Amino acid sequence: MEDIFKKDLSGALVSPDEPGYEQLIASIFDTMKLAYELNSGYHTPDEVRNYLSRITRQEIDPSVTLLPPFYVDFGKNIRMGKRCWIQQGCTFFDRGGITLGNDVLIAPKVNLITINHDPNPDNRSATYGRPIVIEDKAWIGINSTILPGVRIGYGAIVGANSVVTHDVPPLTVVGGNPARVIKTIETQDKE
């Protein structure tokens, strides 16, 4: 029997009927309990990072700032670089894997969703994941949704209320539903 957690992260279909599915759901509820504790009451920045470390099972750099509430389903497939800033009310569904580079800015109410359902109506309860990667210095605008399998390139900006269905090239601004390239970001090299 293949480990259901590895299968889930691999992008293969995972069905509620297969062995180990109950363990996957139990793990999600364990994570939701930690998220509930994080979201109930005031916590210092260090306490918030401690909760985030427990949720992700990863050491979180002291330069990372997360402003609760924070909603997460699995938690263990989130990787964060240094100096990430995550605002209130964000939802990370990370079963497919979420990677944030260094200096990533996430505005309030952003949804990073790595899981989708089988389009076959006879197997609709089965899910599959695709990773989301947000490269260094990207900025995700308020109330945007990034869908499974999307890579946001270095320094890119996702405009407010956007739904991102495809990869975003580095140093571009995208917006809309579905998001499309609006312009290129001009940079000046400092010598």
Active-site residue set: 117
- DSSP three-state, residue 184: strand
DSSP string, 74-114: --TTEEE-TT-EE-TTEEEE-TT-EEE-TT-EE-TT-EEE-
Q: Counting Cβ atoms within 10 Å, is residue 183 exposed (0-12), middle (13-18) or buried (19+)?
A: exposed
The H or E element that residue 53 is part of is helix 45-56
- DSSP three-state, residue 71: strand
The H or E element that residue 176 is part of is strand 172-176
Rounded to an integer, what distance in angstroms lies between the CA atom of residue 119 and that of residue 190?
Answer: 49
The sign of the CA dihedral 25, 27, 103, 42 is positive
